[in-house]
Amino acid sequence: MALKGKVALVTGSTSGIGLGIARALAAEGADIMLNGFGDADDIEKLRAGMEKEFTIKAAYDGADLSKPDQVAALVQKTQEALGGLDILVNNAGIQFTAPVEEFPDAKWEAIISINLSAVFYGMKAAIPVMKKKKWGRIINIASAHGLVASPHKVAYVAAKHGVVGATKVAAIETANDGITVNAICPGWVLTPLVERQLQDRAKEAGTDVETEKKKMLQETQPMLTFSTPEEIGALTVFLCSDGAATMTGAPISIDGGWVAH
């Protein structure tokens, strides 16, 4: 329970990587503000279940992160509901693929808004709160695509490169305020969304999920193993620990060797 008494806001935490991170922080005793889309009853079961399982407080707010005022309000509501804000994990993200010349303007704007601008607005609102306490941890979930590119992902790659850059700036500015700011850069993570993609690929190719897993990983990763939301959560917990007190401004790869080659 190394984080008992701390309050964590994790955006995009009703499923996938964000949920893995929220659960990992809750397991260490942190109170959690959940955020994301989904069925209201399912989210309430998730929230209540987390409180019971980890004996912590958990709240939920469905702020639309494409709207700057709602991002700032989410930070404020976290403080009101849970009594403070010590850890901010900017995780929410969306994806769309198309060649640059065919990429829809609306999709570009939406991806930049949620994947990049929401990170900026979240940090802008959270940093003053953390400065008052002289303690804070900001973890921005970037991607291997924050460091390298792939075709047909112009908005996502641009946004994630921007997240890495914004992380470095915030880290430099808060270096002597008891705050660290880092970016986690995952490769392929086995989330429900990716599992559905694998099932679709297997159906189209007339193969099976295990075959498609290997093919998907071989496209980018030397290590033919998916990372898991739990592993991303464990890395997040480490970045919040005393052992990472002087780690700041770092893009940290957890990608099966993707960017090493």
Residue 164: give its domain's CATH number: 3.40.50.720
Does any domain span residue 1?
no
| 256 vs 260: CA distance, rounded Å | 9
Fill in the amino acid letter for 204: E
pLDDT score recorded for residue 102: 98
Q: Is the pLDDT of residue 71 over 90?
A: yes
The 3-state DSSP class for residue 228 equals: coil
The 3-state DSSP class for residue 163 equals: helix
Q: Exposed, middle or buried by CB within 10 Å (0-12, 13-18, 19+), for 5?
A: exposed
pLDDT score recorded for residue 74: 98
Instruction: Indicate if 240 and 114 belong to the same structural domain.
Output: yes
Instruction: Indicate if 140 and 205 belong to the same structural domain.
Output: no
| pTM of the model as a whole | 0.96
Q: For the residues 207-213, what does the mean pLDDT come to?
A: 96
Both tokens of 121, joined, read 């607005």
Domain membership of residue 115 as a residue range:
7-188+228-254
Instruction: Indicate if 205 and 121 belong to the same structural domain.
Output: no
Does any domain span residue 260?
no
CB atoms under 10 Å from CB of 84, counted, come to 15
Does any domain span residue 2?
no
Does any domain span residue 244?
yes
Q: For the residues 218-223, what does the mean pLDDT come to?
A: 96
Cβ proximity of 7 and 22 under 8 Å: no
Instruction: Indicate if 104 and 211 belong to the same structural domain.
Output: no
Instruction: Indicate if 122 and 65 belong to the same structural domain.
Output: yes
Q: Is the pLDDT of residue 192 over 90?
A: no
Q: Which letter does DSSP use for residue 87 in this model?
A: E
Beta bridge partners of 8: 32, 87
Known catalytic residue: 121? Answer: no
Choosing from 108, 120, 156, 226, which is the catalytic residue? 156
The 3-state DSSP class for residue 158 equals: helix
Which residue matches tokens 């980890």? 54
pLDDT score recorded for residue 33: 98
31 φ, ψ (degrees, to nearest 5): -75, 145
Instruction: Indicate if 59 and 114 belong to the same structural domain.
Output: yes
Among 98, 136, 82, 92, which residue's Cα sits nearest to residue 114?
A: 92
Number of domains in the chain: 2
Q: For the residues 150-176, what does the mean pLDDT come to?
A: 98
Q: For the residues 92-96, what does the mean pLDDT come to?
A: 95
Both tokens of 31, joined, read 């109170």
Instruction: Indicate if 78 and 167 belong to the same structural domain.
Output: yes
Instruction: Indicate if 142 and 22 belong to the same structural domain.
Output: yes
Q: Is the pLDDT of residue 86 over 90?
A: yes
Both tokens of 124, joined, read 């802008």
